[in-house]
Chains A and B, each alone.
Chain A
Amino acid sequence: MGVGAWIMLLFGATLLWGGLVFFVAYYFRAGRR
C-alpha cells in the first residue's frame, strides 16, 4: 500500500471510529450523572 493510502486509512479510522468511541463514552458518562 502506498503512503497516501495509509494516511487516508488512518484518517478515516480516527475520525469515524474515534468519533464513535468518543460519543458512546460520553453517552455513558453523562447517563450516569
Chain B
Amino acid sequence: MGSAIGLGNIWRYPYVAYENGGGAFLIPYFIALLTAGIPILILEWSLGNKYRGAGPRAYWNLSRRWEWVGWWQVAGSFVISTYYMVILGWVLAYTYFSFGTQWGSDTEGFFTGDFLGVSDSFWSVGGFQLGVLLPVLIMWAVVYWLLARGINRGIELASRILIPALVVMILIVVIRGVTLPGASEGLNVLLTPDFGALATPGVWVAAYGQVFFSLSIAFSIMITYASYLPRESELSNSGLIMGLANSGFEFLAALGVFGVLGFLAVQQDVPVTEVVSDGVGLAFITFPQIINELPALNSLFGFLFFGALLFAGLTSAVSILEACVAAVREKFDLSRTMALNVVCGLAFVVSLLYVTKGGLYYLDTIDHFITNYGLALSGLVETVLVAWILRQVGPLREFINEGSFISVNYWWTIALNVLAPVALFFVVGFSLFTDLTEAYEGYPVSGLVLLGGGMAVGIIVVGFIFQAIKWRERRDAS
C-alpha cells in the first residue's frame, strides 16, 4: 500500500533541495526523516492498527474527547482532494497535449491563457473553463470507479499496477534526463553541497517540512490504511520501508528534473538558476518548454513525464478520498457506496470552483494554507496529544513490538516525545511568521484571509461539529 508517493515528490523536493544548500540539504533531510518522518509514520500505522479505525474512530477509541482531531485531519484531506483532482485533470490534459507538443512555443501563455484562461484578478471568478472541466470529469470518473471497486480490487490493484509503472517511467525520464547535453550543469546546481547553509535555521525547517509533506502524514490516510491490516501486523519495518522508498523516489526524480533543467539552460544559454522553478510552474510551463527543445522523441518523453505525474497523483488522490470515505462510513454506519457517493459528490461540487477562470488563484491559496495550517498544525497537535497529553508513546511502542521483527527502541520514544513536536512547532511558527509579514504571492489580503484562513479555521470547526454528532450504532456491534 504505497500511496505516499504523490505529486509533491516530483515537483516539490527538487526545488526545496536546490533552495536549501543543494547537496548539503541531504544531511538535514535525512536527519528529519529519521527523527520525525519515519517515527510519525510508524505512530500513525500503530494508531490505526491498534485502535481499529479511520482517523476519527481511532482518536475516539484513544480518548473520547479528542475525536475532533481525527475529523480535523479528515476535513483537511477532503479539502485537499477537491483541488488535487483538478490538478490531476490538468495533468491528464497535458498527457494528451504531449502528442505533437500541442502547447506550442509559448508554454506560459498557453498554460495561463489558452488552457486555464486565468482571469486578471483574484476576485473575478469568470465562467467555467470547458477545456479543463472535461479532463477533471474524466479523472473523477476514474477515481470513483477505483474507490467503488473496494479496497482489494480497487485501491490495492491500482497501486500494484500503477506504482511499478510509475517507477519504470520515472527511470526512463531520469536516464534520458541525465544523458542530455548540459545535464551535468543541472546536477551540479542540485548536488554541490553548501555546508554553510546547515547553520541557517530556515534550512532545517525546510527539511522537516519536506519530509512531513511528502510522506502524507496527518492526512489520516495512514491511520485508515493501517486499520485494514490484520492486528499485530509488521508495523515498524513497513514504516521504514515506506519512508525510505518515498525519499529514494524523490531523490531519483530530482536527478531527472535537474538533468533536464541543465539541458534547458544550456539550450537557452542562461545559467541553470534562471530556469529553476517548482510546483505548477515547473510541471506545466518549464517542462513543456524542455520537451519542445528535446532533439528527438519529444512526444514520447512528454507522455512519459505527464503519465508518471498522472499515476503518482492518481494513487494519492484515491488514498486521500479513501480516508474521508472510511471516516464517514464508520461514523454514520453507511454502506461503502453510500459514503462514497456523499464524499465524492460533495468533493466534486467543491472542485468545480477551481475549474473557473479564477481557479488558479483559489487553488494556490487553499494549497498554501492547507499544507501549512492544516497538515503541519494538525500533525503538531497529533504528536503533542499522543506523546504529551495522553502519554501513549510507551504503550504504543509495546504494541508495535509485539508484531514486528524490528523493535522500535528509545530513538522512537525520544523522536516522538521531543524531536518531532519541537520540529513541527518551528515549521508551523516559521510559516506563520512569513505569512503575517508578507501577503502570500501578493494576493489580496481579503482573499487570503477569507479563503485560506477561513478554510484553515473552518476545518477545525468541522472537527468539533462532527465530534458533537453521536456515532450511529454499528450493526455489527459486538
Query: Residue B240 at the A interface, CB < 8 A?
Result: yes
B246, chain A: closest CB distance, angstroms: 9
Query: Residue B449 at the A interface, CB < 8 A?
Result: no
Interface of B is mostly: helix
- Across the interface, which residues of B come within 8 angstroms of A9, CB to CB? 23, 187, 191, 255
Q: A1-B184, A15-B30, A16-B244 are in contact. Are A7 and B23 (CB under 8 A)?
A: yes
Q: A5-B191, A8-B192, A9-B187 are in contact. Are A16 and B251 (CB under 8 A)?
A: yes
- Per the bound structure, the CA–CA distance linking A30 and B233 in Å amounts to 13
Task: Please provide the chain B residues from 37 to 53 with a CB less than 8 Å away from any CB of chain A in the complex.
Answer: none
- Across the interface, which residues of B come within 8 angstroms of A4, CB to CB? 23, 191-193
- Per the bound structure, the CA–CA distance linking A13 and B22 in Å amounts to 15
- Per the bound structure, the CA–CA distance linking A4 and B188 in Å amounts to 9
How many B residues touch A, CB cutoff 8 Å? 25
Q: A2-B192, A9-B191 are in contact. Are A27 and B26 (CB under 8 A)?
A: no
Per-residue interface assignment for chain A, residues 14 to 28, with 1 indicating a CB less than 8 Å from any chain B CB and 0 otherwise: 011101100110110
Residue of A nearest to B237 (CB): A27
B178, chain A: closest CB distance, angstroms: 10
A27 touches B23 (CB 8 A): no
- Per the bound structure, the CA–CA distance linking A16 and B251 in Å amounts to 8
Residue of B nearest to A9 (CB): B191
- Per the bound structure, the CA–CA distance linking A5 and B199 in Å amounts to 20
A1 touches B26 (CB 8 A): no
Q: Name B187's contact: one of A1, A23, A24 (CB within 8 Å).
A: A1
A12 touches B193 (CB 8 A): no
Query: Residue B241 at the A interface, CB < 8 A?
Result: yes
How many A residues touch B, CB cutoff 8 Å? 22
A23 touches B247 (CB 8 A): no
- Across the interface, which residues of A come within 8 angstroms of B30, CB to CB? 15-16
Q: Name A20's contact: one of B192, B245, B405 (CB within 8 Å).
A: B245
A8 touches B248 (CB 8 A): no
Q: Name B23's contact: one of A5, A16, A19, A26 (CB within 8 Å).
A: A5
- Across the interface, which residues of B come within 8 angstroms of A12, CB to CB? 23, 26, 251
Residue of A nearest to B30 (CB): A15
Per-residue interface assignment for chain B, residues 225 to 252, with 1 indicating a CB less than 8 Å from any chain A CB and 0 otherwise: 0000000001001101100110110010
- Per the bound structure, the CA–CA distance linking A9 and B188 in Å amounts to 10
A10, chain B: closest CB distance, angstroms: 10
- Across the interface, which residues of B come within 8 angstroms of A8, CB to CB? 22-24, 26, 191-193
Query: Residue B157 at the A interface, CB < 8 A?
Result: no
- Across the interface, which residues of A come within 8 angstroms of B187, CB to CB? 1, 5, 9
- Across the interface, which residues of B come within 8 angstroms of A1, CB to CB? 184, 187-188, 191
- Per the bound structure, the CA–CA distance linking A1 and B183 in Å amounts to 9
B237 touches A20 (CB 8 A): no
- Per the bound structure, the CA–CA distance linking A23 and B193 in Å amounts to 28
- Per the bound structure, the CA–CA distance linking A5 and B259 in Å amounts to 13
Query: Residue B465 at the A interface, CB < 8 A?
Result: no
A19, chain B: closest CB distance, angstroms: 5
- Across the interface, which residues of A come within 8 angstroms of B238, CB to CB? 27
A26 touches B191 (CB 8 A): no
- Per the bound structure, the CA–CA distance linking A7 and B191 in Å amounts to 9
Given contacts A12-B251, A16-B247, 10 further A-B contacts (CB under 8 A): A1-B184, A1-B187, A1-B191, A5-B22, A8-B191, A19-B240, A19-B244, A20-B244, A24-B241, A27-B238
What are 15 sample pairs from A and B whose C-beta atoms fall under 8 A apart? A5-B23, A8-B22, A8-B26, A8-B192, A9-B191, A9-B255, A12-B23, A12-B26, A13-B251, A16-B247, A19-B240, A23-B406, A27-B238, A27-B241, A31-B234
